Amino acid sequence: MMKLKNGLIMTMLSVLSLSLILAGCGKEEEANSSVSPTVESSAKPTESAKPTLEPYALKMFVPGSSAPKDQDLVNQEISKYLKDKINATFELTVIDWGSWKDKMNLKFASNEPFDLMYTVNWDSYSTKIQQGNIIPLNDLIDKLAPEAKKQLNPALLEGGKFNGQNYGFPVNKEIASQYGVMLRKDLVDKYAIDIKKIKTLEDLEPFYDMIKEKEPGVTPLVMNKSSTVMNRYYYPNYFEAVGDAFGTVKRNSTDTKVVNMLETPEYKSGLDLARKWYLAGYVNKDAATLQDMGGSLKSGKAFSFLEQLKPGKDAEVSQSSGIQWVQVELTKPIIATTDTTGSMTSISRTSKNPERAMMFLNLLHTDKYLVNLISFGIEGKHFVKKSDNLIDFAPGIDASTSGYNLNQAWLFGNQFNNYLWASENPNKWDNFKKFNDSAETSKVLGFIFDTANVKSEVAQAGNVSNEFSPGLDTGSVDPDEVLPKFIAKAKASGSDKIIAEKQKQLDEFMKSKK
C-alpha cells in the first residue's frame, strides 16, 4: 500500500516537473482579445510559436489610395510580434487602386511567390478561382483557424462558397449593404439642408442647383468610373448581383429569371438621370476617366459623392479626408452574395507555406493587438489611446500628415476587435449588429457564377463593358445614341450565351437550395 502511494506521488511530481519545463520553453503573453458582440470566442491567439515551426517570411498585398510612408516601420513591428506567435516575419504592400488589378495579374503571370491578397466579388473573384490562382481554404480553416471560424456569422462563409469551397476568408464586419450619398457637413449646416427630406436621388437636385450657383469652384457631385449613379444606386436598388458579366435578376421580381440589364427600363432610367445631371453641370467633366476621387474630397472641391454605406461610414470618411461628411441612406440594406464576398483574404497558389498564411489569418481574426497594429499603426507614433477602445491621432499629426493612415480597417480580420476613433460613435459595433439584423436576404444568396463554359464570351463582354460603361454610367455620353451600340456590341460578344448559361446554373442552384 505504501509502495503504491509512493509511486503515485512520484508520478504526480514527474507530471508537475514536466509541465514546469514545458512552461519555461515558451512563455505565453496575455492576449488582449475581444470578440464579435454576437459570438463568444475560445481563441488562444497569443500562443508562442511551436519549436517545430521553421522561420517564414509572409507577404501580403492589399489595395489602397497610396502606400503609407511608415509602412516599413509597421511591418517591422508586426514581424516582431509574429516571431513568438508563428515564427514569421511579415511584409504588407499597398498597391494603388488604379493599378491594383493589372499588377496582381502580372504577379500571377510571372509566378511571383507571395502568400495573401485582398479579394472581393467584383474583382474577377470567380476568374481567379477558375484559373487556380487562389486556393481552396476549407481544410486549412478547419485545421488551423477554428477560433477565427467560430467568430464569423455563418452567412459570411456560406455565401462565399464556390462549388462548396471557400476561396476567401471573409473579414468579420457588416454583412449587408446599403447605398446613398455623402454630403459636406459644413455646407449642409451653412444652407440649413434638412437631410431627412432626401429620400431619392432626385431629391438632391434643388441642392445641387444651389451649390452650383452659390459655391463657385465646388462640384455638386463628384463621380468617377466606380462611383456613379448606376453602381451606387440603380444597380443595387433594382438588380440582384449574379456574376461579373451580363445578365442579372430583378430585385423586386417574384422569380429568378436572368435578364439582360442593358435592355431594362430601370437601367435606361438611371442612364437618363446621369446624363441629365452631367448636362446640368452637377458632375465633374472628367468623371468617365477619373480613377481616384480622393483629391477632390480632401481639397474641399466636392459637395457630395455617392457611396456604399454602413453605420458610421461618414465618420470613417471624415477621418481619412480631413473634411466632415454626413451620410444619407437611399436604399434599404440587403444581404447578398456580393456582401458576403465583399472583403476577403485569399491565399495565393504561389505561397510556399499556405499553412503559415492560415495561422496568420487566425491570429488576425482573434488577436486584438495584431489587427489594430495592421489597421492603425504603432501606438504613440500613429495614434494614442484616449481609453481602452478609443483612439486619436498622436499629438502634432492629423489625417493628412500621419505616416500610417490606411483608413481601410475593413480589409483586415475581425472589425469587432477594432479600436474606434474619437470622432466615431462609441456604439458603432452595436449599430453594426442592428444594421445586419434589419437587412433583407437576397433570394439568390450564395450563387456564384461559374464562367468556365463561357470564358471567351465573358472576356469579350468585359472589354465591351469597359468601352461603354464609364461614359454611360457617368452621363458623359448620350444614352439614346450610345446605349443601342452597347447592346449590339454586347450581343455580338456573346452576352446572350452568357445569360443562358447563367440561367442554367441559377436554376440548378435554386433547386439545390430547396
Query: pLDDT by residue (tens digit) across 188-198?
Result: 999 999 999 99
Whether the pLDDT of residue 43 is over 90: the answer is no
- If you average pLDDT over residues 92-113, what whole number do you get? 95
Residue 253 vs residue 41, higher pLDDT: 253
Q: At what angle do helices 455-473 and 265-279 cross, to 10 degrees?
A: 40
Which residue bears the cell 467560430?
Answer: 150
Distance of CA 430 to CAs 33, 244, 434, 437, Å? Answer: 18, 33, 6, 11
Supply the pLDDT for residue 51: 53
Lowest mean pLDDT among 46-55, 412-421, 501-510: 46-55
Whether the pLDDT of residue 145 is over 70: the answer is yes
CB 439 within 8 A of CB 237: no
Q: What's the CA gap between 29 and 47, in Å, rounded?
A: 8
**Please, which pLDDT band fits residue 44 given cuts at 50, 70 and 90?**
very low
Q: What is the DSSP string of 246-264?
A: S-EEETT-SS--EE-GGGS
Whether the pLDDT of residue 167 is over 70: the answer is yes
* Mean pLDDT comparison of 138-147, 317-326, 419-428, 435-444, highest-scoring range: 138-147
Q: pTM of whole model > 0.75?
A: no
- If you average pLDDT over residues 417-437, what whole number do you get? 88
pLDDT digits (tens, 9 = 90+) for 242-263: 876 689 999 888 899 999 999 9
Residue 141 vs residue 130, higher pLDDT: 141
pLDDT digits (tens, 9 = 90+) for 348-366: 999 999 999 999 999 999 9
Q: What's the CA gap between 99 and 123, in Å, rounded?
A: 12
> By C-alpha distance, which of 180, 178, 200, 442 is closest to 333?
178
Supply the pLDDT for residue 31: 36
Q: What percent of the chain clears pLDDT 90, i.e. is strictly above it?
A: 64
Supply the pLDDT for residue 46: 46
* Mean pLDDT comparison of 207-216, 329-338, 386-395, highest-scoring range: 207-216
**Please, which pLDDT band fits residue 159 given cuts at 50, 70 and 90?**
confident
Lowest mean pLDDT among 50-59, 135-144, 224-233: 50-59
Q: What percent of the chain clears pLDDT 70, i.e. is strictly above it?
A: 89
Which residue bears the cell 517564414?
Answer: 56
> By C-alpha distance, which of 366, 334, 313, 310 is closest to 155?
334
Please name the amino acid found at residue 177: S
Supply the pLDDT for residue 245: 65
Q: At what angle do helices 265-279 and 479-493 cross, to 10 degrees?
A: 140
Which residues does 422 contact at the CB level (< 8 Å), separation at least 6?
386, 390, 391, 392
Whether the pLDDT of residue 342 is over 90: the answer is no
By 3-state DSSP, what share of the chain in percent is helix, strand and coil, each rounded to 5? 45, 15, 35
- If you average pLDDT over residues 480-504, what whole number do you get? 96
pLDDT digits (tens, 9 = 90+) for 63-77: 998 899 999 999 999
